[in-house]
Amino acid sequence: MQAKTRDTVVVETKDKKLNGILMPVPETEKDIVILKLESGYNIGIDKKNIKAIKLVKTFERKKEKTAEVKLNKKLPTISILHTGGTIASKVDYKTGAVSAKFSPSEIIDMFPELKKIANIKSRKIASMQSEMMRFVHYNLMAKEIEKEVKKGVNGIIITHGTDTMHYTSAALSFILEDLPVPVILVGSQRSSDRGSTDAGLNLVSACYFIANSDFADVAICMHENLNDESCLILPALKTRKMHTSRRDAFRPINTTPIARVNFNEKNISFMKKDYDKKNKNKKLNLKLFNEKTRVGLIKTHTNMFAEEFLAYKDFDGLVIEGTGLGHLPNEEIDEYTKENKKIFNALSDMIKKGLVAVMSSQTIYGRLQMNVYTPMRELQEIGVLGHLSDMTAETTFIKLAWLLSNYKKEEVKQLITKNLRGEISERVEDKTFLS
């Protein structure tokens, strides 16, 4: 009988025998066998050096008992749509196997607080790392959201990988027009099997917020700080991941959070008064992405070359992360800066041929002001847009792609700096810096 993943085996190589458990092997490393040794460490063994793999014990999957989920007519109904398994997954550290939980009963078993908050519907719509997403996935999510809205649910939660969650929240904000119920994206910096996990509080807080508020828009729900006390409801178009691993990695940019949720105290405190409210009379309309739209995102730096910009000559749009107020190296000032003029000429030619170029700032906070210095005024003269915008580069990228998907280019040029969904602040308050 051939050994399979999670079976206990003896691997015989040319010079030794190794006891352990067969582990899953990544698609890119099919020429090796990964063995979890009795010490708990994993070892990779080149298949060329293996003489035999002998089965010692077949892995036996135990059937887990799950609680029956009963409908409570007094509670609202919330649909949880999963796009990845982290927030609802557990790792078996003995075998290294990851098991994802998606059914309503499994979610209730993991987070029993939910059954007192709402009737939970739960299903998987995708299973992928968030950095693998493309525009088509935003469309697929929107269509699944539309199905749940038509079923009459009171709110929807999207579980999502944290790395590009702010891209997805921005995309859904633009796609979902006249949204009658809340759509809250929830992620987890730490997997749910770990003692330091943020999965439970994030998910439970999102459910509590949907069930006990009149909010009806797209937002993100994540930890407010390192304590397990409260979560913030963050604006979908003005939020950014600001740390690789902290549980409070998501912060609002140039604005304040929408609300604070303290589930332990059963309290919701709104920080914003102006927000879209639940309205069953609204009819959801989807304005989807054209999946073939090509938009680039380039970060300016010293010692740039025209070829870096010309790489996007056949694209529909380009977002430029400029320095400071909206700079890029576009002016020849001495014998060593001739390349800067080539950059300016290349960008000018690309715009004349139809590229829509939009500036954002790599400073993250603050507003562009492209009238202050001559080089920036010259960029505006050749058609670089973005003056007075305070959108993050990520939101600018998503908005430009969405506009190009739904409007003619001349309309795009007018709309890119117009506030459509709350992506551009009327004014930036000092207290929002690093808040």
Which listed residue (36, 77, 83, 86) is catalytic? 86
Report d(CA 325, CA 371) in Å as an integer. 9
What pLDDT, on a 0 to 100 scale, did the predictor assign at position 84? 77
Are 379 and 303 in the same domain?
yes
Are 302 and 350 in the same domain?
yes
Q: What is the pTM of this model?
A: 0.85
Is 68 among the domain residues?
A: no
Are 323 and 260 in the same domain?
no
Structural domain including 108 reads 77-286
Is 62 among the domain residues?
A: no
Is 327 among the domain residues?
A: yes
* 246 to 18, 91, 166, 243: CA distances (angstroms): 38, 20, 16, 6
Residue at which a domain ends, from 256, 286, 316: 286
Is 67 among the domain residues?
A: no
Quick one: CA dihedral 366, 372, 375, 378, positive or negative? positive
Are 110 and 184 in the same domain?
yes
Which listed residue (163, 193, 228, 276) is catalytic? 163
Residue at which a domain ends, from 286, 303, 320: 286
| Region at 139 (left for phi over 0; alpha for psi -120 to 50; beta for the rest) | alpha
Helices (H), 120-250: 135-151, 165-175, 199-211
Report d(CA 322, CA 299) in Å as an integer. 7
Are 264 and 387 in the same domain?
no
End-to-end CA, the chain: 60
Contact partners, residue 405, CB within 8 Å, separation at least 6 = 135, 287, 288, 289, 290, 293
Are 245 and 188 in the same domain?
yes
What pLDDT, on a 0 to 100 scale, did the predictor assign at position 119? 96
Residue 383 sits in a domain whose CATH number is: 3.40.50.40
Q: Is 86 a catalytic residue?
A: yes
Low-confidence residues in the chain, pLDDT < 70: 1, 26-28, 40, 61-68, 85-102, 191-195
Is 427 among the domain residues?
A: no
422, 427, 429, 430: CA torsion to nearest 10: 120
What pLDDT, on a 0 to 100 scale, did the predictor assign at position 101? 60
Helix (DSSP H) and strand (DSSP E) numbers for the chain: 9, 22
Are 160 and 267 in the same domain?
yes
Are 246 and 191 in the same domain?
yes
Are 103 and 249 in the same domain?
yes
Residue at which a domain ends, from 286, 314, 332: 286
Q: Is 162 a catalytic residue?
A: yes
Is 210 among the domain residues?
A: yes
Which listed residue (77, 83, 95, 162) is catalytic? 162
Q: Is 241 a catalytic residue?
A: yes
Are 299 and 272 in the same domain?
no
Token readout for 351 is 């715009």
What pLDDT, on a 0 to 100 scale, did the predictor assign at position 93? 46
Q: Is 287 a catalytic residue?
A: no
Q: Which helix (H) or strand (E) holds 299?
A: strand 295-299
Which listed residue (115, 241, 342, 399) is catalytic? 241
Which residue's structure tokens are 């303290």? 262
Task: State how beta strands 155-159 and 77-82 pair.
Answer: parallel
Task: Work out the number of other CB atoms within 10 angstroms of the CB of residue 324.
Answer: 14
Domain count, the chain: 3
* 54-95 pLDDT per residue, tens: 899 888 765 555 455 788 999 999 999 999 755 655 555 455
